[in-house]
Amino acid sequence: MNLSDQCRLFLLLLTAPCSRAQVAPVMSPPVLYGLGVPDLWSWVLWLGLLYVLVKASKLYLTWRQLDKALRPFEGPKRHWLYGNAHEFSGNGKFLDTIAGYAEEYPYAFPIWLGNLFAWLIICHPEYAKAVLSRQDPKDNLGYYFITPWIGKGLLVLSGQKWFHHRRLLTPGFHYDVLKPYVTLMSDCVTIMLDKWERLIPDENPVELFHHVSLMTLDTIMKCAFSYQSNCQMDSESAYIKAVYDLSYLVDFRFVCLPYHNDLIFHLSPHGYRFRRALRIAHEHTDKVIKERKQSLKEDTELEKIQKKRHLDFLDILLCAKDENGQGLCDEDLRAEVDTFMFEGHDTTASGISWILYCLAKYPEHQEKCREEIREVLEGRNIEWEDLGKLPYTTMCIKESMRLYPPVPGVARELKEPITFCDGRSLPKGVDVFISIYSINRCPSIWENPEVFDPLRFSPENTSHRHPHAFLPFSAGGRNCIGQNFAMNEMKVAVALTLQRYELHTVPGKEPLVLAQLVLRALNGIHVHLKKINCAKKKKN
Ligand code: HEM
Ligand SMILES: *[C@@H]1O[C@H](CO)[C@@H](O)[C@H](O)[C@H]1NC(C)=O
């Protein structure tokens, strides 16, 4: 256990409502009076005391250092024991609380989890730029829970190894590779829209996130591994269930404080479910890799494979070699495959669900997008060439990601001291959290930040804005490698949905934003769907 784990466990023991403090059994009074030979018990007691003393002074020193480091940064008052933790626990208001503080402390402010662990929360573009232009590793806490699943893939790696992998994988996102995916994406979206057609006669609203995440999972399986999962129609596949479970449990563990402790999580029913899902997912990934390796035995050059069929990420991964002819080992391969599975479906599911919700909420923009889509597609299916001809729809997608960034924040552990634009600085070792959600709503950059206004992203309005004011895909060397893939998928989903359905909000079911690893809604994202009748379409 590292320090922050200990501090969380400590907090947990103090705050857990059910912990009837288990007092250690009283020892028989040891011989402490200088009389006779000290027995075993007194040795144990002395050593125990010494241990506690050493630990306590270490913790005290950590606290002193962190407290001193963060002193230049004014922030919200903290409780002597909980720090600020109690303000966030369980009410689903994390993001709005942070965004509220961001108005009070406009650059950055500390948030304490107990008295031994703190993040500097960054909520200004200039501060974000200072951090994102460096190469600090991801911090431990934010990424710890996904590693058992995705292993040491691109998302969590750092240093030389990250650089090596990033270079090997970049060709996998070249537009030649992405181009044929548009058809696969539109197939998957069509399955979802057909499914909705069977749901709407009963006039109940549809919860988008559930349907959309099965759709994006289907998509990433087809694009990345040419795997026909059929997961949207029959969710019986053990692998799909496992991936779905893992995404859910990682998020759940993140927000459930007791589960931050490895032992408690391990012994819990959720921990059991997690291990079972892990086993299924890893076995499946290993099998897919093995089979593909077998079938690629003859063809080791991408050009040759490309003549026979589309390339997918797995081909790129298996054929990737650096200048020394060095490829990825099996463990690294699996980590990258699992990273794509994780990064590539929940994030886009969040993006698509929120944009559809925004369009339902702002019917005038929905109608403008629909007109644009009709003009370009004229009722046919969407193709690669169309994606660049939807400027208004693209602006709406960006505006939706400004208000509802699918990845609400990223964290780093400073490996070197840093000095910010206003001269304040931090020593190495401090954890910082860049609140993408707050930066995207920063009132000194965005006029009336709460208002949905796609014209903010018109070329004229974008050109003189701070380049770090809009960060859905992060920025710098560790930005999202999948951003073009994601934008394409969002455009395909919005275009095909608006072609067939009108979206309306459901009174009384406004989604409440919930920050887990991706942005979700506490109560789901519900909309009413109304099929567009063809007569109207022809008339236009
Ligand atoms: C709307 C959809 C998406 C959003 C908003 C998004 C956002 C992000 C963000 C903010 C990061 C930086 C994370 C950090 O610094 O910790 C990131 C990294 C990454 N994303 Fe995405 N992402 C999306 C879709 C995708 C897709 C579809 C893929 C793959 C097919 C993908 C693969 C990755 C990978 C591998 C990284 C790590 C890159 C590195 O560290 O070198 N993402 N993404
Ligand atoms: C720029 O944004 C403002 C306010 O959002 C809007 O009124 C204006 O039309 C936009 N300009 C352009 C050229 O899109």
State the DSSP string of 178-228: HTTHHHHHHHHHHHHHHHHHHHGGG---EEHHHHHHHHHHHHHHHHHH---
Structure confidence at residue 140 (pLDDT): 73
- What is the average per-residue pLDDT within 305-319? 82
Stronger pLDDT, 21 or 101, i.e. the higher one:
101
Residue 207 neighbours by CB distance under 10 Å: 18
Residues with CB under 6 A from ligand 1: 138, 154-155, 166, 339-340, 343-344, 347-348, 351, 406-407, 410, 472-474, 478, 480-482, 485-486
Query: Distance between CA atoms of 4 and 388, rounded to whole angstroms?
Result: 47
Structure confidence at residue 114 (pLDDT): 79
Q: Which residues contact 344 (CB under 8 A, 6 or more apart)?
A: 216, 220, 224, 482, 485
Q: Is the pLDDT of residue 84 over 90?
A: no
Structure confidence at residue 29 (pLDDT): 42
Candidate from 239-248, 282-291, 435-444 with smallest mean pLDDT: 239-248
Gap from CA of 342 to ligand 1 centroid (Å): 10
Q: Indicate where the chain has its CATH 1.10.630.10 domain(s).
A: 144-539
- Locate 253 and state its tokens: 């563990």
Lookup result for tokens 């911090």: 139
What residue type is 189 in one-letter code?
A: V
- Binding-site positions for heme read 480
Structure confidence at residue 320 (pLDDT): 85
- Locate 24 and state its tokens: 């250690």
**CB-ligand 2 contact for 460 (6 Å cutoff):** yes
Ligand 1 mutation target, pool 316, 412, 480, 520, most atoms within 8 A of CB: 480
Gap from CA of 152 to ligand 1 centroid (Å): 15
Mean pLDDT, rounded, of the chain: 87
Structure confidence at residue 187 (pLDDT): 96
Candidate from 261-270, 320-329, 337-346, 527-536 with smallest mean pLDDT: 527-536
- Are 452 and 362 within 8 A, CB to CB? yes
Query: Distance between CA atoms of 156 and 537, rounded to whole angstroms?
Result: 48
Gap from CA of 455 to ligand 2 centroid (Å): 5
Q: What percent of the chain has pLDDT over 70?
A: 90
Q: Is the pLDDT of residue 21 over 70?
A: no
Gap from CA of 81 to ligand 2 centroid (Å): 48
Q: Does domain 144-539 have CATH number 1.10.630.10?
A: yes
Which range has highest mean pLDDT (18-22, 244-248, 299-303, 455-459)?
Answer: 455-459
- What is the average per-residue pLDDT within 267-287? 93
> Model confidence at 515, in pLDDT bands (50, 70, 90)?
confident
Gap from CA of 498 to ligand 1 centroid (Å): 26
Structure confidence at residue 30 (pLDDT): 42
Candidate from 205-214, 291-300, 519-528 with smallest mean pLDDT: 291-300
Ligand 1 mutation target, pool 316, 342, 347, most atoms within 8 A of CB: 347
Ligand 2, atom 10, lies closest to the CA of: 455
